[in-house]
Structure 1
């Protein structure tokens, strides 16, 4: 029989992940606060639930993909939540990106409820979710990780156990620091190239083939070249993640100069109305600082 999976949070990332599981060896029941988001899962043969409690009541595995720490706390700890309604012994996999300290607290609460918790934040954005090519960094008990590995490999390409509870979230925070710095550097390079009238598409080709090449360049170049910033990963969410980075660094006495600067640039993007755009929309901030006015607030060319 197929493993019964509940999937809570069917947004840009969660929806294609749930569909991949349903198309694999899993029987998926999904819940999302906006009911229309369950439609792709239903079309793939899955089931839509009317609440978290209904979704998890018979689940062997519960997957969670929601925006922030308070959302995960609500999903897991609420009266209608996972821990109060899931069968004992179930495995909860939190794909959300949240604070490592909150993850550790939730793991303790899960253990007290007779439930196991893995923190398994992902990287790869909407494209990675759609192509089942996500990088998944997993924290928690190694035996639980091995049990979850087939499921994780159904939605991800690079799946690595990185340590105890909270370690996955710590690695994800580092990931978000690197990604943000790369996006900002790419944006600055593009504005610089355009100021000199260079063929920017050709420039991206040659830069991508050298040491400057990166997954960020490959995935975000077209967004920037065409000024199309439909969200694959929103600036609002990356702003949240950089808050996690800077807060966690301060707690352990680590200084992150570039991290602090990029966090401020991300905050500036939100303050200028760009929070709903893809994080490649950091380009707009560089243009503003350079006196350019090439795009509108919705990410379309002016």
Structure 2
């Protein structure tokens, strides 16, 4: 059993914390949403009234937060994780943020006698609920080895990808590929329907050939039915594409297709689809083609 402080019990964090409880760990959770904290208590976890209280006595602290500002406040800020954690604590940030923010967290942790990993995830709400996430981890190899038993309660594919910040770079690459596939699947649906072809059998064929991918496997039926209940919102993918473009600028590489995907996702947000699942990129493609929404 490991004493875990868990900060951020949202759509992703709540089931993840629950899996750690089910795996036999002592989990103390905090979130600004009191309902999320009560839900953790119902699964057998402990509740905290502040970040510092959640971190107190923890051997490992996990954060799962929306974006850089929240990570900077919760981890680096006054009364935050690094200030409250005892020396030697392993801090695992599983948020999707800029690589340079993860590197800043790692440096600040080292200065305080702590250790830090960046461990963003892929798989969305479904992956979090099914404990089938892909987890890409940046940081020291020894710290990854300590974290792995905990991460195995949360995901199926768990890979140490390099030093601090590397996990976030891999996550950026993941998000550009996911966005690109959603755009292409959306275009395929629009083409099939406009040509009078039933997209159901059409996408079934694609899913069995070289065009096969996880989005076709998991989302083709809901996309055809225009069911866009959020597993991962367009708002968040918009944030992630900003990370992709910033990382490309920092690495001094050109990613022209990624830039187009970022614009399509930004358009979806501007059209009012930000709270919908990122598969609602189909709506953007339909409108560009003058097809009825």
Question: Runs of 4+ in structure 1 displaced over 2 angstroms?
Answer: none
Structure 2 unpaired stretches of 5+? none
Q: Does structure 1 residue 148 correspond to structure 2 residue 147?
A: yes
> Which aligned pairs between 1:124-143 and structure 2 lie closer than 5 A?
124-143=123-142
- Alignment RMSD (CA, Å): 0.9
> Which aligned pairs between 1:75-154 and structure 2 lie closer than 5 A?
75-154=74-153
2: CA distance, partners of 1:251 / 1:44: 43
1: CA distance, partners of 2:283 / 2:113: 48
1: CA distance, partners of 2:222 / 2:61: 34
Q: Does structure 1 residue 43 correspond to structure 2 residue 9?
A: no
2: CA distance, partners of 1:254 / 1:279: 26
Which string of whole-angstrom CA distances, capped at 9 and with x for unpartnered residues, describes residues 127-164 of structure 1?
A: 11011000000000000000000001110100000000
2: CA distance, partners of 1:114 / 1:31: 23
Per the alignment, residue 9 of structure 2 pairs with: 10
Per the alignment, residue 298 of structure 1 pairs with: none
Q: 1:78 deviation in Å?
A: 1.6
**TM-score, structure 1 as length reference:** 0.95
2: CA distance, partners of 1:33 / 1:219: 32
Q: Which moved more, 1:21-30 or 1:37-46?
A: 37-46
**TM-score, structure 2 as length reference:** 0.98
Per the alignment, residue 278 of structure 2 pairs with: 279
Q: 1:268 deviation in Å?
A: 0.6
> Which aligned pairs between 1:1-302 and structure 2 lie closer than 5 A?
2-294=1-293
2: CA distance, partners of 1:240 / 1:253: 20
Q: 1:293 deviation in Å?
A: 2.5
Q: 1:230 deviation in Å?
A: 1.1
Other structure's SS at 1:233 match: coil
Q: 1:38 deviation in Å?
A: 2.0
Per the alignment, residue 299 of structure 1 pairs with: none
Which string of whole-angstrom CA distances, capped at 9 and with x for unpartnered residues, describes residues 217-276 of structure 1?
A: 112212211111111001111111111111111122100010000000111111111111
2: CA distance, partners of 1:89 / 1:6: 14
How many residue pairs match? The answer is 293
2: CA distance, partners of 1:134 / 1:68: 19
Q: 1:22 deviation in Å?
A: 0.4
